[in-house]
Structure 1
Amino acid sequence: MTRRLMDAEPLTAQIPADVDQPDKIIYGLNARQVVILAATGLVTALGYSLLHALVPFPVTVAALFPMLVFGVVVTLARRDGMSLDRFALAALLHARAAKQLVRTEGPVSAPPAWCRMRGQLPAPLRLPVRAVRQDGVLEFTGGGVAAVVQAGTVSFGLRTTSEQAALVAAFGRWLNSLETPVQILLHTRPVDLSGLADHITRAAPALPDPALEQAATDHAAYLQQVNASVTLLARQVLIVIRDAPGTAPTGLGGAWGGRRRGLRRAGAAVVLRRAEEAVRALGVLGIGARVLDADACAQMLAEALSPGRPPLTGTAHPDEVITGLEESR
């Protein structure tokens, strides 16, 4: 009976759905919605006071009713999880933004007068990450830092009901302990086995036994066959732990520049500590996790800029000299 009651435990955990949701001040409306409704009502009342003495009442209602409905719809309706006013603002900013971006340190120079150009000049591409520290912490262009944790998965469906309830409760406790924004990213990426097969082929002649060399060669051929016959995919789980951006202005140098560096160093220490805490919390669930170092973060960013393509191999570090010379064999 005890075992049956344990298996009947519900798989639920109390987690706030939206911790950044604005506070409700009246009738379930937040301050922004109240301001929009008040402005709509004020404009409607002003229009009625101006029109009721000049035109018949049905004409006044026909002229003001669409304005009133528009204000109510903008206040209460939502699209893709956003209110219509914010959705319209995002659409306007997207329409006005440049569609072609180029990587440059300064502004894009205009073409000479004799060159006729169709369309608009491309805008500078401003990547959100300005640098990757040696400890693996990402520094953002707009301020703030972040650490990335790569996590594995757990066979949830193979556990009993009581074990599943324990996992859900432990995961809920970790989510409730978070104090800063955390993004959990799950995606699949293609896997290319050709590099591994080539490495095995090159290392096979150095094996001490001819049978081992033949086995390694056969295994490399099998990997090449699998890589050419099917599309291999790997699932990756990334947890991005951010820190609040610094309060120092970004356009000033001197003392403010030193203050920004101090804020980044302090923020890097904080996010690294929280990343280690996340690794320990996930270890309780039986999930293997690790904090990505600088090389792993650079590889992750390179893969993010070319989604759907095999990962880059043999890339040089930022401080390495790239040459075209190869050692002769």
Structure 2
Amino acid sequence: MRIPADVEQPDKIIGSFTARQVAILAGTGALLYAAYTLAADHVPPLVCVAVAAPIAVGAVLLAIGRHDGISLDRYVLAAIRYRRSPKHLVSSTEDMPMPPAWIAATGRRPPAPLKLPARGVAGDGLIDLGPDGVAAVAEISTVSFALRTPDEQDALVAVFGRWLNALSGPAQILVRAERVDLSDTIATLQDNARGLPHPALASAALEHAAFLEDLSARHDLLRRQVLLIIREPAANASGRDAAAARALRRLEEASRVLGSCGLTARLLDTRAVIALLASCFDPAAPPLPDDLALPGEVITTGGPG
């Protein structure tokens, strides 16, 4: 049995029209017919046609039109929701107080609370999604597919397909680009060059450090990061531990299966997940320091020496 390539393509119920398109066209036609039967005795037919024609054309465009791969009716609804949604959001878990009267008189919308899907990061590195459960994030290594022989490529595809067929819950593969900071590498090369036993080695190390410094100054260096996110739903707060255990077990199974094609999965710890979420919110910001205190961690300072 052949499986279609686009398994998410909506089903056609009448000809080439989907249920959503039929509902739009049939609903518009029914409304226009009902309006005509009510106004036929009082309004000339030409006026009815002039009023109904733009509505019918709009319904046809909404039903069959597409914009950036999205059906036009969904695009219009998304535009309306964006227009009506508040544009100034603040990260507050409490109810927003009413603005003063002089601010309300300007006609501007008050700020609204920013509702994020992630409630926090637990000590085991899992992301707490609240009523949606938990999510485990792992960084996956890569392999060169183009440099493999046809038999090796078939084997890689077979292993990946076996993992997809074994999925028992939601999973996401995220490929993102992040900035690369070569300052530590350059400083290490410059420091180690002084201790090399031969002047030619020291000169080569310094030249390579100068090349990297010039490269980072003239270009925005990026590296590709592949992440595997495993999500497990939790019915309530008491079921979080069970959901976390299932997510870690599924991640371990994925690591074992993907290891057959040379891929390694590294579960991100709490600091790495926090840094990842921070970089997703502000990719241009500098990376978080390694000694940043975790949420709930006690900060201690040394006394005077």
Q: How many angstroms apart in 1 are the aligned matches of 2:195 and 2:232?
A: 56
Q: What residue number does 2:277 align with?
A: 301
Q: What residue number does 2:253 align with?
A: 277
Distance 1:104 1:325, change over 3 A: farther
Q: What residue number does 1:191 align with?
A: 180
Q: What residue number does 1:319 align with?
A: 296
Distance 1:115 1:58, change over 3 A: closer
Q: What residue number does 1:72 align with?
A: 60
Q: What residue number does 2:132 align with?
A: 143
Matching of residue 180 in structure 1 with residue 180 in structure 2 = no
- State the one-letter code of the partner of 1:287: L
Q: How many angstroms apart in 1 are the aligned matches of 2:71 and 2:104?
A: 42
- 8 Å CA contact 2:172, 2:228 repeated in 1: yes
Q: What residue number does 2:226 align with?
A: 237
Matching of residue 267 in structure 1 with residue 243 in structure 2 = yes
- State the one-letter code of the partner of 2:257: A
Q: How many angstroms apart in 2 are the aligned matches of 1:105 and 1:223?
A: 48
Q: What residue number does 1:101 align with?
A: 89
TM-score by length of 1: 0.75
Structure 1, unaligned runs of 5 or more: 1-12, 247-259
How big is the shift at 1:151?
0.9
Cα deviation, 1:88-136, whole Å, max 9, x if unaligned, reads 2211111122212222231333455677885332222222210212222
1:127 is matched with which residue: 111, 116, 137?
Answer: 116
Q: How many angstroms apart in 1 are the aligned matches of 2:90 and 2:122?
A: 24
Q: What residue number does 2:141 align with?
A: 152
**How do 1:46-61 and structure 2 match up within 5 A?**
46-61=34-49
How big is the shift at 1:245?
5.6
RMSD: 3.6
Of stretches 317-326 and 148-157 in structure 1, the one that deviates more from structure 2 is: 317-326
Equivalent residue pairs, number: 296
Q: Secondary structure at the match of 2:132?
A: coil
Q: How many angstroms apart in 1 are the aligned matches of 2:180 and 2:59?
A: 51
- State the one-letter code of the partner of 2:173: I
**How do 1:11-22 and structure 2 match up within 5 A?**
17-19=6-8, 22=10
Q: How many angstroms apart in 1 are the aligned matches of 2:167 and 2:4?
A: 11
How big is the shift at 1:173?
3.3
Q: Secondary structure at the match of 2:119?
A: strand
1:226 is matched with which residue: 212, 215, 220?
Answer: 212
- 8 Å CA contact 1:188, 1:235 repeated in 2: yes
2:74 is matched with which residue: 73, 79, 86?
Answer: 86
Distance 1:268 1:299, change over 3 A: same
- 8 Å CA contact 2:11, 2:18 repeated in 1: yes
- State the one-letter code of the partner of 2:73: D
How big is the shift at 1:29?
4.1
Matching of residue 161 in structure 1 with residue 150 in structure 2 = yes
Cα deviation, 1:185-213, whole Å, max 9, x if unaligned, reads 112211113345567889x7xxxx9658x
Distance 1:70 1:165, change over 3 A: same
Q: Secondary structure at the match of 2:110?
A: coil
- State the one-letter code of the partner of 2:239: L
Distance 1:307 1:326, change over 3 A: farther
Q: Secondary structure at the match of 1:185?
A: strand
Q: Secondary structure at the match of 2:173?
A: strand
Q: How many angstroms apart in 2 are the aligned matches of 1:123 and 1:194?
A: 40
- State the one-letter code of the partner of 2:255: V
Distance 1:225 1:282, change over 3 A: same
Q: Secondary structure at the match of 2:289?
A: coil
Q: How many angstroms apart in 2 are the aligned matches of 1:266 and 1:234?
A: 35
- 8 Å CA contact 1:188, 1:234 repeated in 2: yes
How big is the shift at 1:162?
2.6
Of stretches 173-182 and 309-318 in structure 1, the one that deviates more from structure 2 is: 173-182
- State the one-letter code of the partner of 1:95: R
Of stretches 188-197 and 122-131 in structure 1, the one that deviates more from structure 2 is: 188-197
- 8 Å CA contact 1:184, 1:238 repeated in 2: yes
- State the one-letter code of the partner of 1:98: P
Structure 2, unaligned runs of 5 or more: none
